[in-house]
Amino acid sequence: MDKDRGTKANRKSEQLEAFRKQSQGKVMTTNQGVKVNDDENTLKAGKRGPTLFEDFHFREKLAHFDRERIPERVVHARGYGVHGDFQVYQCMKEWTKASFLQDPSVKTPVFVRFSEVSGSKGAYETNRDVRGFAVKFYTDEGVFDLVGNNIPIFFIQDSIKFPDLIHALKPEPHNEIPQGQSAHDTFWDFIANNQESAAMMMWLMSDRTVPRSFRMMEGFGVHTFRMVNEAGVSRFVKFHWKPVLGVHSLLFKEAQQIGGYDPDFHRRDLWSNIEMGNYAEFELGVQMIPEEDEMMFGFDILDSTKLWPEEDVPVTIIGKMTLNRNVDNVFAETEQVALHPGNIVPGIDFTSDPLLQGRLFSYTDTQLYRVGTNYKELPINRPLCPFHNNQRDGAARISIDLGQVAYHNNSLANNTPVTVSGEDGGFVSYPEQLGGTKTRETGELFSDHFSQARLFWNSMSDIEKMHITEAFSFELGKVKSLSVREQVVDMIARISTSLAESVARNIGVEVPCECKQIEVSKSSPALSQANTVFLPYTLRVGVIVAEGFDGQMLGAVLAYFKKYGLQPVILSKQLGRITGNNGMELDVDDSFITGAPVLYDSLYVIGGEGQCPYFVGKAQEFVRESFKHYKPIGASGPGIGIIQSLGIEQEDGVIIGQGAAEFAGRFIPAAAQRRFFGRSIM
């Protein structure tokens, strides 16, 4: 055995040495052999200008990257879609001429695709990962796609580095491990050597990347766009989706267990609630900055690794999206939907955000490769308003075009279709003043990588800080390279000395010997999930019952649950029907074998006259596990004895009662609170 282990170690060492020799001293070139001068920045019209289409190195690099996987998406492969509609609350004419933001009585159809970033289609859904949050609006002026994430910033500043980020994040190529996780050497090596990722690194290690539900996470457009009104006045804008149910997360260990019990946890939650009529609701908010205030902040507003603190630039809520219809066919809709940040309508326009500029090329290129030449003709992608142009033929053409003319200008068809002026609804790009020397550089303020990372840390509650510390310790504890671990801890020390010291001790590296912590005292309460909305609506309660349960008590409690939107899941030792002491019958939803404590947001133990030692033992297991995850636990009747046998009846969030009204009055607010972190863990 030792000999085999030594042989494998030698082979790995030889492979690494061969790779180093192959790459050592080599100059980077394009695929045509042209030596590359800069692989960090796209070619721009001035340091803060837009990316130039002539950047052949960028186009080659991204076009190759877009074609690396077939047939699933390179990123965001694991996703789920749903239909709905959007209504603006009041006319937005002052800020934009976009027609779907004018009339509060108009419902604009939408399609939303939620997704993970790193995993393949087979990854389980509760991995620690950024979540995609992409919305397609079918407006009367054409399709508008708001393609974002559940995090307001991103890892990189310039899109030319996107292939590098994803290559580092994806499973390592020599062994295809790990799947759908960031806890490995190449990802953290990228972070340590691309320190513009510092703020995003903090978000990734926070509770935001283990959401409780798609219905309970924020969405962000990430980039800086423009809104333009009829008078031609432009404002810089960022888009936000605020979930009506608040922003809530799983615990990391809980998320790992759920991945084993139910790899489809998030899509099942979305599908089931919509089928029950519990529609997912999100309010659309905008942050706006006038053109003349562009440079008044201590960061560059075109930098996608930076957010606009809500205390400095308030979010104005302008409308609501209601997701109310599941797809009919996942492949035809969710998989074939082609989302693209370049799909905009009059009244919304681009900025020179260098990450956005590259996406305007890459997303079109990706969809042409992945779905095909005529992907825009598919039902899920085509606009609801009429569309006409001279594009013809191509693979999988759906339209049967008539006539002999397919060009412009023409006389044979009276020069139709015709272009129209901006006054008649034609799209006219905002006449931004541009100027500067062609260069592969970026704005000076892009170089501050740590101020907002510190802002995020300052904004966290003590519990959130503890979870971030544990997340770093887990992730970096999986990194085999001591050098990479040391580099990341040194990077963390720029953000928080105390965080770096704790992580260093946990992963066995030297604590940085000098204080490098950046001096930022500001915080932003909007960044902490402790400041969100807490509602009981649609939360799942595991109700543990045995034969001969108190039917009068349970019936009354279930009525209260229904009134406040809690979803009871009847749980017993086996599936089938179960009867109470008053003849009340219930269908058992989960048995102790098919269910698991992590699948419920709280527990209610009522027991029954027929509870046996097996029932009591299993109920105790469920209670212990829920207690460890700080969840609310209630008990009545014989169930009280089960709680008392564990000695937890005096702990926070443990509710005991005999009267239905009194019990429900205390249990339902506890269920809404979700976690009781003050309790002592068994």
Residue among 57, 76, 184, 223 flagged as catalytic: 76
- Active-site residue 10, yes or no? no
| Distance (Å, whole) CA 327 – CA 334 | 8
Provide the pairing of β-strand 540-545 with 602-607: parallel
C-alpha dihedral over 19, 24, 27, 30, to 10 degrees? Answer: 0
Sign of the Cα pseudo-torsion (60, 65, 66, 69, in order): positive
- Active-site residue 340, yes or no? no
Torsional class of 277: left (φ above 0), alpha (ψ -120 to 50), beta (otherwise): left
On whether the CB atoms of residues 78 and 121 are closer than 8 A, the answer is yes
| Distance (Å, whole) CA 534 – CA 68 | 43
Which residues neighbour 677 within 8 Å (Cβ) at sequence distance 6 or greater? 463, 630
- Residue 673: CB atoms within 10 A of its CB come to 16
Q: At what angle do helices 265-275 and 252-261 cross, to 10 degrees?
A: 80
On whether the CB atoms of residues 228 and 288 are closer than 8 A, the answer is no
51 strand-pairing partners: 44
Sign of the Cα pseudo-torsion (403, 404, 409, 410, in order): negative
Q: Which helix (H) or strand (E) holds 43?
A: none
Residue 274 DSSP class: H
- Residue 321: CB atoms within 10 A of its CB come to 23
Which residues neighbour 335 within 8 Å (Cβ) at sequence distance 6 or greater? none
Residue among 127, 149, 278, 381 flagged as catalytic: 149
| Distance (Å, whole) CA 447 – CA 438 | 20
Torsional class of 635: left (φ above 0), alpha (ψ -120 to 50), beta (otherwise): beta
149 strand-pairing partners: 132, 220
> Which strands form 540-545's sheet, in the order they lie side by side?
590-591, 567-572, 540-545, 602-607, 633-635, 654-656
The three-class DSSP label of residue 159 is: helix
For 105, the token pair is 């009585």
For 24, the token pair is 């050592």
Give the N- to C-terminal CA distance of the chain in Å, as an integer: 40
CA 375 to chain centroid, in Å, comes to: 25
Rg, Å, the chain Cα set: 28
74 phi/psi in degrees, rounded to 5: -65, -45
For 1, the token pair is 């055995």
| Distance (Å, whole) CA 180 – CA 72 | 14
Residue 546 CB-half CA count within 13 A: 20
| Distance (Å, whole) CA 359 – CA 458 | 32
| Distance (Å, whole) CA 231 – CA 93 | 10
On whether the CB atoms of residues 436 and 232 are closer than 8 A, the answer is no
Cα 34–40–46 angle (5° rounding)? 95
**Residues assigned a catalytic role:** 76, 149
